[in-house]
Amino acid sequence: MRSPVSGIVTLLGLLLVVIVGYMSLFTVAQTEQTIVLQFGKPVDVVTDPGLHFKAPWNSVINIDKRILDLENPSQEAIASDQKRLVVDAFARYRIKDALRFYQSIGSIQAANIQLTTLLNAALRRVLGEVTFINVVRDDREKLMQRIRDQLDHEADGYGIQVVDVRIRRADLPEQNSQAVYLRMKTEREREAAEFRAQGGQKAQEIRSKADREATVIEAEARSLAEQTRGVGDAERNRLFAEAYGQDADFFSFYRSMTAYENGLRANDTRFLLRPDSDFFRFFGNPSGKTATTTPAKP
């Protein structure tokens, strides 16, 4: 028979094996890289994800290998034309050498502090070499590339690779922005007043030209109308003359009837004429001939 003591020893041995085996295994996630430490000193760097082995007395430190964000507070910089700028920038970086990173900085929090200092210095150096217009409009992409290259070069000693640097906003300080805004507003108002004055002058020229052309067209139309009326009157007189030549008595009768029609209108039939006037010759004689009086014989 086995004694109780041997069973306890066997159980303790199995427990010790389990503990040692557990302490000898560690896992590496896909988003991490691991440094194996032996008595505080790094002895290995594991970047492949999965299950790995180590000595039971060794410890591990996991370091993120994803692209990390660095949000930089707004900073003031002075351009080469001595204009002050408020620059809001951010960076993207990743840890490419875990061992160097651990030996030089040690943590992501410390890396953010160090990179913020380096980023601000790079911003001031690069932006101090160009003008305000280059920053806000002309060469923004090139300037961000230069800042990224400088920051990447300085961060390389810490095992860090700077992926990208972006200037989110680059503008004048608030008081300067207000002054520029008021100056731009005044300039736009002056230009608007000038445009309105030019438009009023142009409108007056167009109206004057239109009035002049209208006067000329009206005069030409009136002249043409008078000419046409004169031609019509001449044609009418010619026709009347021909008609008169064909039948003088009828023409005289027609003229008299027209005169009666025009003269004897409704509510106004008063004439200051002698009864024996030639105007009334068709009232006494339908032929319009004046009756001749035969002188009395002696």
What's this model's pTM, rounded to 2 decimal places?
0.53
Which carries the bigger pLDDT value, residue 5 or residue 64?
64
| Model pLDDT, residue 154 | 92
Tell whether the model's pLDDT for residue 291 goes beyond 60. Answer: no
Torsion of Cα atoms, 176 then 179 then 180 then 182, to 10°: 160
Q: What is the mean pLDDT of residues 208-234?
A: 89
pLDDT higher than 70, residue 281: no
Element (H, E) at 201: helix 174-246
Tell me which of 140 and 219 has the higher pLDDT: 219
Give me the sign of the Cα torsion angle 212, 215, 219, 221: positive
Mean pLDDT of the chain: 79
* DSSP state string for 211-278: HHHHHHHHHHHHHHHHHHHHHHHHHHHHHHHHHHHH-HHHHHHHHHHHHHHHHSBTTB------TT-G
Report the pLDDT value the prediction gives residue 295, as an integer from 0 to 100.
47
Alpha helix segments (H runs only) across 24-130: 98-104, 108-127
pLDDT at position 180 is 67
Is the pLDDT assigned to residue 272 strictly greater than 70? no
- Give mean pLDDT, residues 181-200: 87
> What residue type is 39 in one-letter code?
F
Highest mean pLDDT: which range of 124-138, 175-189, 261-275? 124-138
Residues 144-179 pLDDT 10s? 899 999 999 999 999 999 999 988 887 777 666 566
25-28 and 160-171 as β-strands: parallel, antiparallel, unpaired? Answer: unpaired
- Is 224 a residue whose pLDDT tops 80? yes
